Amino acid sequence: MAESSSLHLMKSMEEPAKFARDSSSFLSEDQFLCSICLDILTDPVSTPCGHNFCKTCLTLYWNNTQHCHCPFCKEKFTKRPELKINTTLREVVDHFKNKGDVDKPVILCDVCTGMEVKALKSCLDCGMSYCKSHLESHKVAKLKKHKLIDPVKNLEDYICHKHERPLELFCRDDQTCVCQFCIEGEHKNHNIVPLEEESGEKKTQLRSLHTGVQQMIQDRLKKIKEIQNSAELRKRNTEKEKADSVEVFTALMRSIERSQAELLEVMEEKQKAAERQAEDLIKELEQEITELKRRDTEVEQLSNTEDHLHLLQIYPSLCRPPHTNNWTDISIDPHLSVEPVRNAFSQLQKSLNEELSKTLNEKLRRKELKMMQKYAVDVTLDPDTAYPYLILSADGKQVRCGDTRQNLPDNPKRFNQYANVLAKEGFSSGRFYYEAQVRGKTKWDVGVARESINRKGPITLSPENGFWAVVLRNGNQYEARASSPVPLYLRQTPQKVGVFVDYEEGLVSFFDVEARSHIYSFTGQSFIEKLYPYFSPRNNDKGKNSAPLIISHI
């Protein structure tokens, strides 16, 4: 039985088309397929939602997913179900598998004539298949050495065509099945092994291939989940961005409507002022007209008088020109001044720019901080590097400077002159981010340092000396310690400082976490060593700077 299977497998290796399994008999029966491995169910188990999977497939799937859900319908389970083999379904599947054997071609005995009798064995030496009764002849001593296998239809494929001997051996040099006589001729001195041995190795390889394919399936299922999660996250982010955009544009439209109302109000006021001016001018003109009419009446009466004495007496007052305004250059401008409109649009443009700048900068700062926080690392202070006056918390997350020097070994890693300490974790690639709380301190240093920095004696903080740091001195003097210190003028006092490093880009950036504002960036740096987070709480300055420097949990 084993020899038959081995020989068949070897022939299959030579003829891939024959080795391929005809799956048409079961792929149409969906109820017997596992939707994970797409093969006939093995040790079937059922989920609470009623779908069936191979026990191993479902276990591997859940081991590689964050949330427990059905791989088919995606129904989520609050608690991971206990998997028990569905014995009834397994019996049905086994019956279905065995049913496939009925469809295999029936091999008939080559000796029986006049009736069809199923063969029990095929003989590679005789080249014939025998039923149980005719197989009795092979019990005699002469035929006992014949090679018997399970009955096969294509018996000639199992016999060497050149020597007409059973193919019992495998030539590894030529990757072909051979007989005993072949190894004495053209396959002489070749690497020859028994068929069963080569078959065993190929089976091992196939099992490894099967495991690899299963892992590839799981990797792709995991990738599907990852893509689905990313798509869902993208959808949520898009909805949030849409809501934020609506909010921004609503604010801008309110600003425009407000500016429009203010402009219309100004224009209305100017119109009313023009109307009042016109009314005043008309009133004044009407008064002058009344006065002139009165003068004209007097002149007309005097010109017709016979009282010569009265005429001469009153003439001097009548001949003087009446007191009137010069109306030549006085008018009402019929055209509306464009100045209010220009001013309104100028003010609108300014407020819109301010609103957009404020909103967009806030969004960009928020996004930038969120992006950096994705690269957050767990940082712990290294006591072997700590200056002897420094006091570290038990969890390695806080450090302050004490008044008493501790009796610590002066190892090569320890700072011996300044109140400095490094983190245990070093980074030589990629991106990383951490945050340090500096609330209540009047002095501090925060940044990163390369592994080979000088730790003994005087130290100057600068990139040339392996330090990329931002510092506070005297309560309000902030500096970036570049080649020459760069004063930093911050709008508010940082309570928590974020440090972001992109190793390949040569970037070290500092941020005020609570204000979500950028403090300073070292750019264009070249890193070739490990970088370690660097801290210094500085001395306690007689209690003025006694607050600890704390590594924040993000």
- The pLDDT tens digits of the residues spanning 414-458 come to 999 999 999 999 999 999 999 999 999 999 999 999 999 999 999
How much is the pLDDT for 303?
87
CA quadruple 255, 257, 261, 267: dihedral sign: positive
Provide the CA 255 distance to its chain's centre, in angstroms. 36
How much is the pLDDT for 438?
97
7-27 average pLDDT score: 41
Q: How far is CA 486 from CA 211, 435, 444, 489, 524, in A?
A: 59, 22, 16, 10, 17
- Quickly state the pLDDT bin for 554 (edges 50, 70, 90): confident
In sequence order, what DSSP letters do the residues of 459-516 get, joined into one string?
---SGGGTEEEEEEETTTEEEE-SSS-EEE--SS--SEEEEEEETTTTEEEEEETTTT
44-54 average pLDDT score: 90
How much is the pLDDT for 27?
37
How much is the pLDDT for 13?
42
348 phi, psi to nearest 5 deg: -65, -45
How much is the pLDDT for 365?
66
Q: Quote the pTM value.
A: 0.45
Pairing of the two strands 477-480 and 467-473 = antiparallel
141-146 average pLDDT score: 79
Q: How far apart are CA 411 and CA 414, in angstroms?
A: 6
Could you say which DSSP state residue 457 is in?
S
Q: How far apart are CA 531 and CA 525, in angstroms?
A: 12
Structure tokens at 430: 């990629």
347-354 average pLDDT score: 74
- The pLDDT tens digits of the residues spanning 457-483 come to 999 999 999 999 999 999 999 999 999
Share of the chain above pLDDT 90, in %: 42
Point out which residues pair with 497 in neighbouring strands.
436, 512
- Quickly state the pLDDT bin for 357 (edges 50, 70, 90): low
In sequence order, what DSSP letters do the residues of 406-432 get, joined into one string?
------TTS-SSSS-EEBS--B-SSEE
* Among candidate residues 371, 394, 365, the one with its CA nearest the CA of residue 554: 371
- Quickly state the pLDDT bin for 17 (edges 50, 70, 90): very low
Count Cβ atoms within 10 A of the Cβ of residue 22 and give its class: 0-12 exposed, 13-18 middle, 19 or more buried.
exposed
Three-state SS at 307: coil
Q: Identify the helix (H) or strand (E) that includes residue 171.
A: strand 169-171
